[in-house]
Structure 1
Amino acid sequence: MLVVKYIGGLGNQLFQLAFVLELRERGYKVFEDITDYRYYDRHQGFEVDKVFDIQIKHVDVKNLSRLRSDYPSVINKIKSKLLGGVKLKSTHIFQNNFDFSKIENQKDYYLEGYWQNCNTYLIKDNLRSFIKFKSFSLSTKNKNVLECINSSNSVGVHIRRGDYLNKENISHFEQVGVEYYLKAKEIIQSKLKDNVQFFFFSDDIDFVKSNYDWGCNVKYIDWNVGDKSYLDMYLMANCKGLIIPNSTFSWWAGILGKDKKHVVAPKYWWQDREKDNDIYLPNKWNLVDNRLNL
C-alpha cells in the first residue's frame, strides 16, 4: 500500500494527483492523505475533487499514523520527544523527482513531494484523458468570456504577481518580465496569424493595464477570486493559445486544454541551475529563454 500526501495550491495538487494516477497505472494500490488541509491557510484549501471529476481514496488514521513520520499521534509524539525531533521513518519518502525503484511492491510507503517532472510517466501524454474538469455553472461574465474564447483566435495570457513578489519567491523563482511576454506574443501571433484576441488573467490587473499595451483586441479577467479562482484555469484551458509564466496553475491550463498546440512557457523556472529539469515542459511547447536579460 502507498499513501500520497497532498499539499499546496491547485497547481501542485494536480501534480500530486498525476503522481497518484501514475502509480495506479503501474499497478500500485494507492491511498491519499489530505489531512494537512485542516490547518492549511494558504490558497483555497484542497480543491482537486471540487474542480475535477475525481474520487479521492482517503487513507485511514491507523495507516497514516503507522507510515507518516510527523503524524500527530500519541506514539509519534513520544518518539519525537525521545529522539529530539521528528525522524523520517523508513516508510516515509520525501522526493520531488521520484525514483520508482525506491518502492518495492510488497512494502508500505508514505510518499511526500511535488513531482513536477512527469517526463518518465506512462500517462504523461494522456493526462487530459485522466483529469477532466467538472461541469460548472458559470456566471454571466464567465459565459460571455467563454463564448469569446471559443469564437476567436483566443490566447490566454497569465501574469502572476501577488505572492511571487515576496522576498522568498523573488530569490527562488527565475523572473519573467515584460520582454518575456513580448517575445511570447510574437511567437503566438506567428502561429495563429489573424484576428488574435488576448485574454489577460492576473491577480494585479492594474499593473497589467499599465505595462502591457497590446492593442484593442484585449480583454481582462480579474473577477474569479477566492474560492472561484479555479475558473481562471478553466477559461485559460479553453483558449486556442496560451502564454504562461513559471506557474503550475497555468501549466495545467496548458496541459488540460482542448488539443492545445500553441503554448509558450519560460525555459527556466528556478534560479537554482540544479533545478532546471524539475518541471516537465512538453516538446510541442514553445520555450523562451528567460535568462537572456529578460
Structure 2
Amino acid sequence: MKIVKILGGLGNQMFQYALYTALQRHHPDEMVMADLHGFNGYRRKYQLNEVFGIDIKQATCGMIAHVAYPYPNFQSWRFGSRLLPKRRTMCVEPHNFAIDHEAISRQGNTYYDGYWQHEEYFSDCRDILMERFHFPDFADEANTALAQRLEKEEAVSIHVRRTDYIGDKLFYDLTATDYYTQAIHYIRQHAQAQLFCIFSDDIVWCKTHLQPLLNDVEAIFADWNNGKQGIQDMHLMTLCRHHIIANSSFSWWGTWLATQTGAINIGPKLWWRRQAAVTPVPSHWITI
C-alpha cells in the first residue's frame, strides 16, 4: 500500500499527483491512494477534481494509521509533523528538497509526505500526465483570441508571483527585477520573440518594471483571469513557445506541459531561502 499526502495550491497538488501516478506505474500490484485530510481547515481546497476531472482513490484514517499518523486536519498535521518521530514506513521529503532517488522504487507499505517537485520522479509518466492534466477549451472571447495568437506566433510567457510571497521568509524577493532583466535579455538574444505575455498577481508591478525591458516587442498583460479563472493563465502559458517562470509551481507546470518545439525555458537558480536548497528547475532548462 502506498499513500501520498496531497496538500498545497494547485501546482503542488499536481506535483503530488504526478508522484501518485508514477507509483501506480512502478507498483502495479499495490494499492496507491491519496491522503486529503490536510485540506480540512486549510486555506486552500483540493482542486484536481474541479480543474482536471481527476478521480483519485482516497485513503481513510484507518488505512493511514498503518503507515503514518492519521491527522484529521491541517492543524493537527502542522504540529504533529514537527513533534512526532518519523515512522519507518514514512518517506518524508528531504529538508533541502533534494531528490530522493529511492522514493519511487521503495518497497512495501509507504506514506509519502512532501511536495516532490522534481520531474525525475515522474518523467517516464509524461504521456499519462499530459492526458490527465488536460485543459478544457476556452469559453470566453479574451482567452480564445489570445490562445489563437499564441499558437501562431513565437510567444514568450513571463510569470511573476508577488502578493502571497511578500513577507514570506522562504520565498520573497528571490525573483526580483534583476532575475527578469537577465532572463528577458537571454530570450531576446537567443529567440525571435514576437510577443511577450505576462501573467501575474501584481500586474501593476509588471507594467512598471518589465515593460521597459521589452522595448519594441509587443507585450500583453493578462489581467482578466481572476479567482477560479486563474487556471486559464496556466493553460495560456502552455501555448507559448518560450517561458520565464517565477519560483512557483504554477508556472513550472505551465512550462512543463507546453508542447511547442525549440523552447527556451528559464527558471530561478534560487527557489527557496533555505540553506543548500535544491531548485526544482529541470537540468535541461536554463537557470539564472
> TM-score under structure 2 normalisation?
0.83
1:128–1:255 Cα contact (<8 Å) kept: no
Q: Are the structure 2 counterparts of residues 282 and 133 from structure 1 closer, same or farther at C-alpha, using a change threshold of 3 Å?
A: farther
The separation in 1 between residues aligned to 2:42 and 2:103, in whole angstroms, is 32
1:34 partner amino acid: L
Q: Are the structure 2 counterparts of residues 173 and 100 from structure 1 closer, same or farther at C-alpha, using a change threshold of 3 Å?
A: farther
2:68–2:87 Cα contact (<8 Å) kept: yes
CA offsets per residue over residues 12-43 of structure 1, 9 Å max, x none?
1111111111112212431112222232113x
2:153–2:195 Cα contact (<8 Å) kept: yes
1:35 partner amino acid: H
CA offsets per residue over residues 21-80 of structure 1, 9 Å max, x none?
1112212431112222232113xx21223323533122234313443314249xx9xxx9
Work out the number of aligned pairs and report it.
271
Asked if 1:18 is matched to 2:11, the reply is no
For 1:245-284, what aligned pairs fall within 5 Å after superposition? Answer: 245-259=246-260, 261-275=263-277, 277-283=278-284
CA offsets per residue over residues 166-188 of structure 1, 9 Å max, x none?
1423xx55612222212211222
> Which residue number in structure 1 is paired with residue 192 of structure 2?
193
Asked if 1:41 is matched to 2:39, the reply is no
The separation in 1 between residues aligned to 2:89 and 2:224, in whole angstroms, is 44
Q: Are the structure 2 counterparts of residues 67 and 236 from structure 1 closer, same or farther at C-alpha, using a change threshold of 3 Å?
A: same
1:6–1:33 Cα contact (<8 Å) kept: yes
CA RMSD of aligned residues (A): 2.7
1:154–1:239 Cα contact (<8 Å) kept: yes
1:220 partner amino acid: F
2:266 partner amino acid: V
> Which residue number in structure 1 is paired with residue 287 of structure 2?
287
Tell me the SS of whatever aligns to 2:120: coil
Which stretch of the first structure deviates more once superposed, 32-41 or 121-130?
Answer: 121-130
Tell me the SS of whatever aligns to 1:268: coil
1:247 partner amino acid: S
> Which residue number in structure 2 is paired with residue 118 of structure 1?
119
- Point out where structure 2 has 5 or more consecutive residues left out of the alignment: none
Q: CA deviation at 1:111?
A: 1.5
Percent identical pairs in the alignment equals: 26
1:210 partner amino acid: T
Q: Are the structure 2 counterparts of residues 287 and 46 from structure 1 closer, same or farther at C-alpha, using a change threshold of 3 Å?
A: same
Q: Are the structure 2 counterparts of residues 189 and 179 from structure 1 closer, same or farther at C-alpha, using a change threshold of 3 Å?
A: same
Tell me the SS of whatever aligns to 1:218: strand
CA offsets per residue over residues 195-236 of structure 1, 9 Å max, x none?
x20111010111111112224601111221222211111111
Q: CA deviation at 1:124?
A: 6.5
> Which residue number in structure 1 is paired with residue 174 of structure 2?
175
The separation in 2 between residues aligned to 1:18 and 1:104, in whole angstroms, is 16
CA offsets per residue over residues 86-135 of structure 1, 9 Å max, x none?
45443333224434269753x32221111112335561765754543132
- Point out where structure 1 has 5 or more consecutive residues left out of the alignment: 289-294
Tell me the SS of whatever aligns to 1:133: coil
